[in-house]
């Protein structure tokens, strides 16, 4: 064999993006045309996605919050994503080696149609909705984020859950070579990051899988290519870079509860009346409004269910939310 080693440059870097897409489409068409007469639509290969690419969106069904949207700069430079480190700046600093595309995830467990889903195909199946949501972290800071997403229910229904399914379990990605927080000493938690919802919470129309924000595909630090968004729960429920969705009849584990069960429960509903054992949850610091990114700033009162009580309070009728925190 020759000693020649090709340089490590992906085709997408040496071919301008639009030509690359056209070439793929052309190749798909040629392959189909070689043996069959192409059916209408057969030439439409799914788009090849990249971080920060513009998405075509439709208006979502919920009104925008009254509070102003947090800037793109703040949303993408103040994050929690322990796979890249525990500091708020670590996700944007340490995530450049992570490759969110191509991406597939599994839906399985108590379903009729377990399947592996390619995200590029998924994005051609459902309209991408604009969903501007208030987001509230358990650390008592908040943002307003213009997500782009798909109702989680649409994705779950593709797999046709059986009657015994009661919960949905989620798993994050494990890629120590691309995620510095997953390699070396002093790792903050066991991997993968895991989360769970009750099936009725997962199917609630507010619950989405976000694939973008501000009209563009997610950057790595925000959970590319797909992450959970449940706006009436503390931020840690919003698991990033999901690889697996499993329908089950038992309450799934969630990473922060495994780590500190007295501090973080399964439900994690935003609740100003139930303090965290080490701090109050009655108010929150608004990221980007006065003060610096890393301190100070305006404080506002935290609302029950983060302001989404009209929509979700009925899910918890009769439950003691002090016990089920
Ligand atoms: N995989 C994974 N998902 C995660 C986390 C994480 O460390 N790893 N952190 C959670 C926490 S604590 C919060 S507050 C939100 C933060 O989302 P944001 O950085 O997009 O604001 O992501 C959640 N999802
Ligand atoms: Mo958080």
Q: For residue 292, what pLDDT is reported?
A: 60
Measured in Å, residue 236 CA sits from the centre of ligand 2 at: 4
**Quick check: 220 and 91 in contact, CB under 8 A?**
yes
Is residue 323 assigned to a domain?
A: no
Residue 262 covered by a domain: yes
For residues 155 and 163, the answer to whether their CB atoms sit within 8 Å is no
On whether the CB atoms of residues 98 and 178 are closer than 8 A, the answer is: yes
- 3: in domain: no
Report, as ranges of residue numbers, the positions in the chain whose pLDDT lies below 70: 1-46, 291-295
From the CB of 137, is ligand 1 less than 6 Å away? yes
- The finding on whether 80 has its CB within 6 A of some atom of ligand 1 is yes
pLDDT at 44: 61
CB atoms within 10 A of CB 298: 12
- Residue 5 falls within a domain, yes or no? no
Whether residue 75 lies inside any domain: the answer is: yes
Task: Note the pTM of the prediction, 2 decimals.
Answer: 0.87
Ligand 1 neighbourhood includes 240 CB (under 6 angstroms): yes
CA–CA dist 265, 258 (Å, integer): 9
Taking CA 237 as the corner, what is the angle to CA 232 and CA 241, rounded to the nearest 5 degrees?
Answer: 125
Q: Say if ligand 1 is within 6 A of residue 195 CB.
A: no
Separation of CA 125 from chain center: 18
Rounded CA gap, 174 and 182, in Å? 7
CA angle 164, 170, 175 (to 5 degrees): 145
φ and ψ of 299, to 5 deg: -110, 140
pLDDT at residue 291 in the model: 65
Q: Which of 14, 26, 196, 224 is nearest to 123 (CA)?
A: 224
State which of 140, 236, 264, 265 you would mutate to test the pocket of ligand 1, scoring each by most atoms of that ligand within 8 A of its C-beta.
236
Tell me what pLDDT residue 31 has.
37
Beta bridge partners of 108: 246
Instruction: With respect to residue 219, please indicate whether it lies within any of the assigned structural domains.
Output: yes
Per-residue confidence (pLDDT) for residue 298, from 0 to 100: 85
> From the DSSP assignment, how many helices (H) and strands (E) are in the chain?
9, 13
- CA pair distance 259, 271, nearest whole angstrom: 21
Residue 49 DSSP class:
P
The total of structural domains in the chain comes to 1
304-308 long-range contacts (CB < 8 A, ≥24 apart) are 304/270, 304/271, 304/272, 304/273, 305/232, 305/269, 305/270, 305/271, 306/134, 306/135, 306/136, 306/231, 306/232, 306/233, 306/270, 307/65, 307/134, 307/232, 308/134, 308/206, 308/231, 308/232
List pLDDT tens digits, range 132-184: 999 999 999 999 999 999 999 999 999 999 999 999 999 999 999 999 999 98
- Domain with 263, as residue range(s), is 11-316
Closest ligand to residue 255's CA: 1
The answer to whether residues 266 and 196 touch, using CB atoms and an 8 Å cutoff, is yes
Ligand 1 atom nearest the C-alpha of 173 is 1
Residue 325 lies in a domain: no
* pLDDT, tens only, 222-241: 999 999 999 999 999 999 99
Nearest in space to 238 (alpha carbons), one of 322, 149, 312: 149
pLDDT computed for residue 26 by the predictor? 33
Q: With respect to residue 181, please indicate whether it lies within any of the assigned structural domains.
A: yes
- Which residues in 109-124 are b (16+ Cβ under 10 Å) and which e? bbbeeeeebebbebbe
Output the domain CATH number for residue 139: 3.90.420.10
């Amino acid at each position: 064999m020759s000693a020649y080693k090709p340089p490590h440059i992906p085709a997408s870097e040496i071919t301008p993006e639009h030509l690359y897409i056209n070439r793929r489409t052309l190749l798909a068409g040629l392959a189909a045309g070689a043996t069959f007469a192409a059916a209408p639509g057969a030439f439409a290969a799914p788009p090849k996605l990249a971080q920060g690419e513009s998405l075509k969106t439709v208006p979502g069904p919920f009104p925008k919050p009254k509070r102003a949207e947090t800037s793109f700069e703040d949303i993408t430079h103040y994050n929690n994503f322990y796979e890249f480190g525990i500091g708020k700046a670590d996700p944007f600093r340490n995530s450049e080696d992570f490759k969110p595309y191509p991406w597939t995830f599994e839906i399985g467990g108590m379903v009729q149609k377990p399947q592996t889903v390619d995200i590029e195909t998924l994005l051609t199946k459902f309209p991408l909705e604009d969903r501007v949501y208030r987001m509230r972290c358990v650390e008592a800071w908040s943002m307003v984020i213009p997500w782009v997403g798909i109702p989680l229910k649409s994705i779950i229904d593709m797999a046709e859950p059986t009657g015994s399914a009661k919960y949905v379990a989620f798993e994050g990605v494990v890629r120590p070579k691309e995620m510095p927080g997953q390699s070396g000493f002093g790792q903050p938690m066991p991997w993968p990051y895991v989360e769970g919802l009750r099936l009725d919470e997962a199917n609630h129309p507010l619950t989405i899988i976000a694939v973008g924000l501000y009209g563009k595909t997610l950057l790595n630090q925000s959970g590319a290519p797909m992450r959970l968004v449940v706006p009436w729960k503390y931020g840690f429920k919003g698991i990033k870079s999901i690889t697996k969705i499993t329908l089950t009849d038992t309450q799934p584990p969630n990473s922060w509860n495994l780590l500190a069960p007295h501090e973080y429960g399964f439900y994690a509903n935003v609740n100003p009346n139930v303090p965290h054992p080490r701090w109050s949850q009655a108010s929150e610091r608004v990221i980007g409004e006065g003060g610096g990114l890393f301190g100070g700033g305006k404080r506002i009162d935290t609302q029950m269910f983060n302001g989404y009580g009209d929509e979700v309070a009925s899910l918890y009728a009769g439950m003691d939310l002090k016990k089920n925190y």
